[in-house]
Amino acid sequence: MVYSVKFKNDNKTYNYKSDVVFSLNDFVIVPTGRGLQYGKIVRKNLNGNEDNLELIERLATKDDYEIYLDNLKLAKEALETAKTESEKLDLKMNFIDSSFSFDKKQLLLTYFAEERIDFRELAKKLASIYKTRIELYQIGTRDKAKKIGGCGLCGQELCCSRFLNHLNSVSINMAKNQNLALNPNKINGVCGRLLCCLAYEDDVYVACRDGIPSINQKVNTIDGEGKVVSIDILNRKYTVDVDGKMVEVVLNEESN
């Protein structure tokens, strides 16, 4: 049977297999590239593909939960320590998150920085304090927003924090396809990059825009030649100024 497991502060789920029957919301111990981790089963798929999937180690116990809570507390302390030590070394690092593997064999610290950082001295210092392997992971502005969270221009929780598992490429052409004003305050998210949601309906806008002229383009109508003054992409129509007369043209229908 295939199970989807979710870890702390991570919207992404990871699939595991097991012959043992678990229930939704069960907490389990599972192997990862960073050692054993404490996670929660959020979905089970009886017909899932089990090829190349790791086995769930076991159902978590009350003692495991206590270890998990202790790891959270220690990770919070480690985050503050990393901030303090990086300031002493005059490193321009904005630490976002920290976490220990369940067996405390690794401490992962996530940080944001504008440029590459030589953190070798910091890693040595942290390793001497926590007696474990230290991994420092630099993220970009979009990943920073995903980690921290917040509200978008729509007033809802950020898509990247709420449900997006992968941050796909977004281009300025998507904003142009939707006839949006290229105002950074309108088309950029809290991360300062183009809104992820510009990609959601791009295929629809591209299809609907087919055959629609551009603003200021000269076109012929049944009332004569004029200049396009506005377009309505989704309704597939546009308005033409013909010597002061506004003529609405609906594609595939008779002009008004």
Q: Give pLDDT tens digits for 72-129.
A: 999 999 999 999 999 999 999 999 999 999 999 999 999 999 899 999 999 999 999 9
Q: How far apart are CA 28 and CA 56, in angstroms?
A: 7
Pick from 125, 112, 132, 160: which is nearest to 34 by CA? 132
Altogether, the residues listed in the chain come to a count of 256
Using a pLDDT cut of 90, give the percent of the chain over it. 76
User: What is the side-by-side strand order in the sheet with 245-250?
Assistant: 218-221, 224-232, 237-242, 245-250
Give residue 136's identity as a one-letter amino acid code: L
Identify the pLDDT of residue 255.
40
Half-sphere exposure of 48 (CA within 13 A, CB side): 18
DSSP class per residue in 29-70: EEEETTEEEEEEEEEEETT---TTPPBP-EE--HHHHHHHHH
Mean pLDDT of the chain, nearest integer: 91
Identify the pLDDT of residue 167.
77
Q: CA torsion 73→77→79→85, rounded to 10°?
A: -170
Interval 185-203 mean pLDDT: 92
Residue 134 pLDDT > 90: yes
Q: How far apart are CA 179 and CA 39, in angstroms?
A: 44
In CATH terms, 65-139 corresponds, of 3.30.1370, 3.30.300, 3.40.1130, 3.55.50, to 3.30.300
Residue 230 pLDDT > 80: yes
Give residue 99's identity as a one-letter amino acid code: S
Residue 187 pLDDT > 80: yes
pLDDT class of 10 with cuts at 50, 70, 90: confident
Q: How far apart are CA 54 and CA 33, in angstroms?
A: 11
DSSP helix, strand, coil percent of the chain (3-state; round to 5): 30, 30, 40
Identify the pLDDT of residue 9.
67
Give residue 204's identity as a one-letter amino acid code: V
Residue 4 pLDDT > 60: yes
Instruction: Give the contacts of 171 (CB within 8 A, at least 6 positions apart).
Output: 194
pLDDT class of 166 with cuts at 50, 70, 90: confident
Segment 24-80, tens digit of pLDDT: 999 999 999 888 999 999 998 877 788 889 999 999 999 999 999 999 999 999 999
Dihedral angle sign, alpha carbons of residues 208, 209, 210, 211: positive
Q: How far apart are CA 16 and CA 51, in angstroms?
A: 10
103, two tokens: 């067996």
pTM above 0.75, yes or no: no
Q: How far apart are CA 29 and CA 58, in angstroms?
A: 5
pLDDT class of 247 with cuts at 50, 70, 90: very high
122 versus 164: the higher-pLDDT residue is: 122
Q: Measured at the alpha carbon of residue 149, what is the angle toward residues 144 and 152, in degrees to the nearest 5?
A: 110
255, two tokens: 């002009």
Q: How far apart are CA 122 and CA 113, in angstroms?
A: 15
pLDDT class of 252 with cuts at 50, 70, 90: confident
